[in-house]
Amino acid sequence: MQFVDLSASEMTFVDLDQTKLTFGKLNASIISGCSMNSADLLHATLAAAKLFRCDLSTAHLSKAILEGTRFQQCQFDGALWDAPKFNSETGFPDCTMKGAAVLNCDFRDLPQLAPFLSDLFGDASSVPPDGSAPEDPGWPAHWSRRTLSPEAFDRAWRDWTRASHPGVRRLSLKSP
């Protein structure tokens, strides 16, 4: 389903596990109760979409456009966020992100992500909602204070997830 345009569509209880939605367009869609485990959303556009009770565990959300997207009661456990585009209208009420990882993310416009920091793994390529730098006391204690190579990030993320969130599966950087 790469390059598919499903903008303004409504999907309920659709099994999208491991679906490649690379460069897919889901703008202004309403997606409810869908299983999207290990879905590849590389460069997908979900601007102004509404997702409710969707399972995006181990999803690959690299360079996804999520401006104005509302995720409500969604699971992102073990997912990878790499350079997605958010804005202050992107919302995550009642979501979970246990063992998920962030790379190249700037969360300064997303104070709503602050409660999730203890569940997210990151490195110095990302900026937490408070804008703190790696040398600042507000830097998340479990985030690397330097930018890691992909291999080092994957190892550190794996080790942290095993210790902090046993039983949570996670995407590997060697995937998708």
**Cα–Cα distances in angstroms (integers) from residue 54 to residues 25, 75, 76, 171, in the given order:** 17, 7, 9, 17
Q: Is the pLDDT of residue 64 over 50?
A: yes
Per-residue pLDDT, averaged over 148-169, amounts to: 94
Q: Is the pLDDT of residue 69 over 50?
A: yes
Token pair 């040398």: residue: 135
Residue pLDDT, tens place only, 2-37: 899 999 999 999 999 999 999 999 999 999 999 999
Check: CB of residue 57 under 8 Å from CB of residue 79.
Answer: yes
Which of 3.10.450, 2.160.20, 1.10.10, 3.40.630 is the CATH number of 1-176? 2.160.20
Residue pLDDT, tens place only, 94-119: 999 999 999 999 999 999 999 999 99
Q: Is 96 helix (H, G, I), strand (E, B) or coil?
A: strand
Question: Burial of 76 by CB count in 10 Å (0-12 exposed, 13-18 middle, 19+ buried)?
Answer: buried
- The residue extents of the domains of the chain are 1-176
Give percent above pLDDT 90 in the chain.
92
